Structure 1
Amino acid sequence: MDNIILIFVCMLLGFLLKNNKDFPLLSYKALNQFVIYISLPAVALYYIPKLEISSKLLFPLGIAWLGFALSYLFFNTFSKIFGWSNKLTGCLIIVAGLGNTSFVGFPVIEAVYGKKALETAVIVDQPGSFVVVSTLAILVATLYSRHSSNSVSAIFKKILFFPPFVAFVIAVLLNVLNLDFPLELQSVFQRLGTTVTPIALVAVGMQLEFDWKSKHWKFLTLGLLFKLFITPAFFYLLYVIILNGKGVEIQVSVLESAMAPMITGAIVAVNYGLKPKLANMMIGFGIPLSFVTLVFWWWVLKGL
Structure 2
Amino acid sequence: MDNIVLLFICMFIGVAFQFVKAFPKNMHISLNQFVIYVSLPALGLYYIPKIEISTALLYPLGIAWLGFGLSFLFFYSLGKYYGWSKKLTGCLIITAGLGNTSFVGFPVIEALYGSNGLETAIIVDQPGSFVVMATLGIIVATLFSRETLSAKAMVLKIAFFPPFIAFSIALVMNFITLDFPVLLQNVFQRIGDTVTPIALVAVGLQLKIERRSKHWKFLGLGLFFKLLITPLFFYILYLKIFKASGVMIDVSIMEAAMAPMITGVILASSYGLKPKLGSMMIGIGIPLSFLTLAFWYLILNTV
For the aligned pair, the TM-score class normalised by the smaller chain equals: over 0.9
Q: Determine if the alignment matches structure 1 residue 278 to structure 2 residue 277.
A: yes
How far is 1:303 from its partner? 3.4
Alignment of 1:232-271 (within 5 A): 232-271=231-270
The aligned residue for residue 202 of structure 2 is: 203
How far is 1:272 from its partner? 0.2
Alignment of 1:138-157 (within 5 A): 138-147=138-147, 149-157=148-156
How far is 1:253 from its partner? 0.3
Q: Which amino acid in structure 2 is aligned with residue 265 of structure 1?
A: G
Instruction: Name the stretch that deviates more: 154-163 or 251-260.
Output: 154-163
Alpha-carbon distance between aligned partners in 2 of 1:280 and 1:157, rounded to the nearest angstrom: 29
SS in 1 for 2:245: coil
The aligned residue for residue 80 of structure 1 is: 80
How far is 1:290 from its partner? 0.1
Structure 1 length-normalised TM: 0.99
How far is 1:97 from its partner? 0.1
The aligned residue for residue 171 of structure 2 is: 172
The aligned residue for residue 158 of structure 2 is: 159
Sequence identity (%): 66
The aligned residue for residue 189 of structure 1 is: 188
SS in 2 for 1:114: helix
Q: Which amino acid in structure 1 is aligned with residue 110 of structure 2?
A: E
Alpha-carbon distance between aligned partners in 2 of 1:183 and 1:114, rounded to the nearest angstrom: 25
The aligned residue for residue 228 of structure 1 is: 227
- Structure 1: which 5+ residue stretches go unaligned? none
The aligned residue for residue 131 of structure 2 is: 131
Instruction: Name the stretch that deviates more: 107-116 or 219-228.
Output: 107-116
Alpha-carbon distance between aligned partners in 2 of 1:220 and 1:194, rounded to the nearest angstrom: 29
The aligned residue for residue 19 of structure 1 is: 19
Q: Which amino acid in structure 1 is aligned with residue 168 of structure 2?
A: V
Q: Determine if the alignment matches structure 1 residue 5 to structure 2 residue 10.
A: no
Q: Which amino acid in structure 1 is aligned with residue 21 of structure 2?
A: K
Q: Which amino acid in structure 2 is aligned with residue 91 of structure 1?
A: C
Alpha-carbon distance between aligned partners in 1 of 2:278 and 2:199, rounded to the nearest angstrom: 13
How far is 1:74 from its partner? 0.2
Count of matched residue pairs: 303
SS in 1 for 2:178: coil
How far is 1:39 from its partner? 0.4
How far is 1:210 from its partner? 1.4
Alpha-carbon distance between aligned partners in 1 of 2:210 and 2:156, rounded to the nearest angstrom: 37
1:41-62, Cα deviation, whole Å (9 max, x unpaired) = 0000000001000111110010
Alpha-carbon distance between aligned partners in 2 of 1:278 and 1:152, rounded to the nearest angstrom: 29
Q: Which amino acid in structure 1 is aligned with residue 20 of structure 2?
A: N
How far is 1:37 from its partner? 0.7
Alignment of 1:60-139 (within 5 A): 60-139=60-139
- Structure 2: which 5+ residue stretches go unaligned? none
1:206-240, Cα deviation, whole Å (9 max, x unpaired) = 00001111100000000000000000000000000
Structure 2 length-normalised TM: 0.99
SS in 2 for 1:136: helix
